[in-house]
Structure 1
Amino acid sequence: MLLLNVNDEISPLKAVVLGTAESPGPVPRPDQAYDPKSLEHILEGTYPKESDMVREMDAFAQVFENYGVKVYRPEVLKDCNQIFSRDIAFVIGDKLIKANILPEREKEVEAILHVLDKIDDKNILQPPEEVHVEGGDVMPWYDHIFMGTYTAMDYPDFITARTNGAAVEYIAEQFPDKIIKSFQLRKSNTEAIENALHLDCCFQPLGKGKAILHKNGFLVEEEYQWLVDFFGKENVFEITKQEMYRMFSNVFSISPEVVVSERNFTRLNDWLRKQGFTVAEIPYGEISKQEGLLRCSTLPLIRE
């Protein structure tokens, strides 16, 4: 049996589901794009190739192996994009919450049944249908749970709005001992540089009391300011609009001291090293064309 345990974003990682880039299928048609960045690359003819994405994910798997992390992979479904395992489920404490994701992605959950079968049924939660939530919008942080959301009346118009107000209420009900702090995110179906697809696209807490933030990803300045005050301005690495577009905040902590980052994030990686972090740099630029990066590709199951 797997005894789930995830209470933050940084404690030493013991077990994780890492997505797979095998058999993602043909380049989608423009009307099949889930997000504006994928759409951009479909239209420009620069959509990533399977071989490049497999190579990038192999590099990520190698880092986990180097640090002794148990890695589970989804079963490969033919012609199905299964890179972003964070979207399909997430763990808080000893509970795994299945995401109510875009209907066309339901089969991705079936591909990790060999992992779910190792978890006690009472520790797997299936939210009701009206609860829309994806793991990129949910961050356990000790006594807090940070959540990205979008609750305006035009929510149904945005394919990029993935977590609704009902999800914030549901998580609050399931975890009454936690402080739920939600943040309204900026959404765009057409402009990737103006779209915070998930909370981890504009915010990431790190070890040593540090955090990465992008102000424009938040619709409400006071909510952004709350995070600045929570971590302390001197501990925040503020990324530019272009850096958010390149997914600078979507790095992944294996421990409080070790951060996996994209090798071309020079400004961020230099800063991380100056703060005393070990930075495991890997190529992940092709996968980033689908508006997801390192955190999106992982579903942590057990942290120390």
Structure 2
Amino acid sequence: MIQLNINDETSRLRAVVLGTAISNGPTPTIEEAYDPKSLEHIKAGTYPVEEDMIKEMEAFNKVFEKYDVKVYRPELIENYNQIFTRDIGFVIEDVFIKANILPDRERELDAIKYIIDQIDPAKVKRPPEEVHIEGGDVMPWNDHVFIGTYKGADYKDFITARTNKEGVQYIKELFPNKIVKEFNLVKSKTEPRDNALHLDCCFQPIGVDKGIIYKGGFIDEEDYDYLVNLFGKENLFHIEREEMYHMFSNVFSIDHNVIVTEKKFTRLNEWLRSNGFIVEEIPYAEISKQEGLLRCSTLPLIRDKK
């Protein structure tokens, strides 16, 4: 049995599901693009190739090996994108919640069934159909659960809006002891620089009391202010629009003081080191062309209790 435990984003990681880029399938057509960044690269002829993405994910896997983290991988589905395991499920405390993802992606959940089967069935939840929620929008943080959402009346018109108000309510009911704080995110179908696909595209806690944040990702300034008040402005690394586009906030913590980042994130990596973090830099720029990065391709199962 796998004893799940996730109460925050940064405690020492013990077990994780890392996606795979093997047999990733052909470059999608323009009509098949799920997000504006993929669309941009499909149109430009710069969409990433499988061989490069496999190398990037292997570099990530090597870091997990270095820190003795148990790594699970999805079972292989031929010609299918299985990189972003964060979308398909997430853990809060000792509960595994299956995401209600875009219908075309249901097979990705089947590919991790062998892992879910090792969890106490009473601790595995599948929300009702009207609940939309994806792991990239959900961040357990001690007594809080932060959730990215989109509250616009035109929610259903946005393929980039992945978590609805029913999703927020579902988590509130499942974890009545938590402060569930929702954040209304900026969405765009056409401009990746103005599209916070998930909460981790514009915010992520790091260390014990720090975070990376993009103010322009929040529709309501009071949502941004909430995080500034909670963390303290001096503890937040503010990223700019172009850095948000390159996914500076989508790093991944293996421990309070160990962070995996993209090697080209020079400004961020220097700040992290100056604040005492051990920075494990890897190449991940090709995968980022699909509007996802390091946090998106992981599904943490077990972190140490504090």
Partner of 1:290: 290
CA deviation map 1:93-127 (0-9, x unaligned) = 00000000000000000000110111011000000
Partner of 1:96: 96
Work out the CA distance in 2 between the residues paired with 1:4 and 1:210. 25
Normalised to the residue count of structure 2, the TM-score between the two structures is 0.99
Matched, 1:199 2:199: yes
Work out the CA distance in 2 between the residues paired with 1:290 and 1:112. 21
Partner of 1:121: 121
Partner of 2:248: 248
Q: Structure 1 residues 140 and 11 mapped into 2: Cα distance closer, same or farther (>3 Å)?
A: same
SS in 2 for 1:182: strand
Partner of 2:7: 7
Work out the CA distance in 2 between the residues paired with 1:117 and 1:129. 22
SS in 2 for 1:127: coil
Work out the CA distance in 2 between the residues paired with 1:62 and 1:209. 27
Work out the CA distance in 1 between the residues paired with 2:222 and 2:151. 16
The amino acid of 1:297's aligned partner reads: S
SS in 1 for 2:250: coil
Partner of 2:264: 264
Maintained 8 Å contact 2:10/2:208: no
Partner of 2:147: 147
Work out the CA distance in 2 between the residues paired with 1:181 and 1:125. 21
Partner of 1:47: 47
The amino acid of 1:62's aligned partner reads: K
Normalised to the residue count of structure 1, the TM-score between the two structures is 1.00
1:151 CA displacement: 1.6
Partner of 2:181: 181
Q: Gaps spanning 5+ residues in structure 2: where?
A: none
SS in 2 for 1:254: strand
CA deviation map 1:186-207 (0-9, x unaligned) = 0000000000000000001001
Q: Gaps spanning 5+ residues in structure 1: where?
A: none
SS in 1 for 2:159: coil
CA deviation map 1:140-171 (0-9, x unaligned) = 00000000000211000100000000000000
The amino acid of 2:264's aligned partner reads: N
CA deviation map 1:218-257 (0-9, x unaligned) = 0001111110111000001000000000000000000000
Work out the CA distance in 2 between the residues paired with 1:154 and 1:70. 41
Partner of 1:106: 106
Matches within 5 A, 1:21-60: 21-60=21-60
Maintained 8 Å contact 2:260/2:281: yes
Instruction: State percent identity of aligned pairs.
Output: 65
The amino acid of 1:128's aligned partner reads: P
SS in 2 for 1:253: strand
Partner of 2:73: 73
1:69 CA displacement: 0.2
SS in 2 for 1:14: strand
1:208 CA displacement: 3.6
SS in 2 for 1:261: strand
Work out the CA distance in 1 between the residues paired with 2:179 and 2:171. 10
Work out the CA distance in 2 between the residues paired with 1:203 and 1:215. 9
The amino acid of 1:183's aligned partner reads: F
